[in-house]
Amino acid sequence: MKFFVDENQVNCNNLEIIGQDVNHIKNVLRKKDGDVLNIVCRNNNKNFIGKIKEMNHDKVILDVLEEKDGISESSINIHIFQGLPKADKMEFIIQKCTEIGVSDITPVVFKRSVVKLDEKDKIKKIDRWNKIAEVAAKQSERDSILEVNNVCNVNELCQALESFDCVLLAYEKEEDNYLKDVLNKIDKKENFKIAVIIGPEGGIEEEEASKLIKSGANSVSLGKRILRTETAPIVLSSIIMYELGDIGGK
């Protein structure tokens, strides 16, 4: 497990852990003075190995034994635009996509989205979802935390697509263009940015799909079977990481 700190918590050969992580280190992991922890600076992805030299109820102070660059992040930047799902499916998606290595998730309101959030609910949800992403990043020993962005609509999504090197739209009505075909044509570069659009439980309406395709999205089929909205982003992210060479840290 890794713990994340801000740049101002790193001071020469000393490092401080504060907040809820203190209780986790002391009372859940039951760490003691002299034990070693893995730390990541969220500002620059620097990794540290630190030895605990002091603990109290407010903070854990460590001596830095080693500093090194992060190696767990992919050169492929995957951004999931996820149709808002029902119940706690979003939490599951965030957790698993964090483990896979996705960099961002943006919830999207489509016409067939069942879930409707007012502004107050959006703030609470985004805050909770980002906390879930941080916990998952610690457990999977990532060097950065997946970011859950503010909820957007389809028009806002169309405007955002121009900043990506490739955009994939998982569309159940697509019959000719397959995911593997698109991935095989990609000339991957460093920090390649790829967007993946997933519809909600009811799918994406033809009008929405047409608008997204006109904005640069590649409509792709995932095969003969229809995947659930919480399954699709996990499957697509895994395939992309494998096909574009992330497996084995390449």
Interval 181-220: pLDDT, tens: 898 888 877 778 999 999 999 899 999 999 999 999 999 9
CB neighbours of residue 214 within 10 Å: 9
Residue 44 has pLDDT above 80, yes or no: yes
Task: State whether 107 and 61 are in the same domain.
Answer: no
> pTM of this prediction?
0.89
Structure confidence at residue 115 (pLDDT): 86
Task: State whether 81 and 161 are in the same domain.
Answer: yes
- Chain centre to alpha carbon of residue 177: 26
Range of the domain at 229: 76-249
Q: How many CA atoms lie within 13 A of 160 on its CB side?
A: 20
Listed residues 68, 97, 120: the one ending a domain: 68
Could you tell me the CATH number of the domain that includes residue 61?
2.40.240.20
Task: State whether 58 and 81 are in the same domain.
Answer: no
> Measured between alpha carbons, how far is 103 from 98 in angstroms, rounded to an integer?
7
62-95 pLDDT per residue, tens: 999 998 888 888 889 999 999 999 989 999 999 9
> Measured between alpha carbons, how far is 88 from 222 in angstroms, rounded to an integer?
24
DSSP character string of 94-131? HHHHHHHT--EEEEEE-TT------HHHHHHHHHHHHH
Residue 245 has pLDDT above 80, yes or no: no
Task: State whether 22 and 129 are in the same domain.
Answer: no
| Radius of gyration, alpha carbons of the chain | 20
Could you tell me the CATH number of the domain that includes residue 119?
3.40.1280.10
Task: State whether 89 and 195 are in the same domain.
Answer: yes
Structural domain tally of the chain?
Answer: 2
Listed residues 45, 68, 91: the one ending a domain: 68
Task: State whether 219 and 105 are in the same domain.
Answer: yes
- Contacts for 48 with CB less than 8 Å, ≥ 6 apart: 10, 15, 38, 39, 40, 41, 62, 64, 65, 66, 67, 68
- Contacts for 189 with CB less than 8 Å, ≥ 6 apart: 165
Among the listed ranges 99-103, 120-124, 164-168, 221-225, which one has the minimum average pLDDT value? 221-225
Q: Outline where the chain has alpha helix (H).
A: 20-23, 89-100, 119-139, 154-160, 179-184, 206-214, 232-243
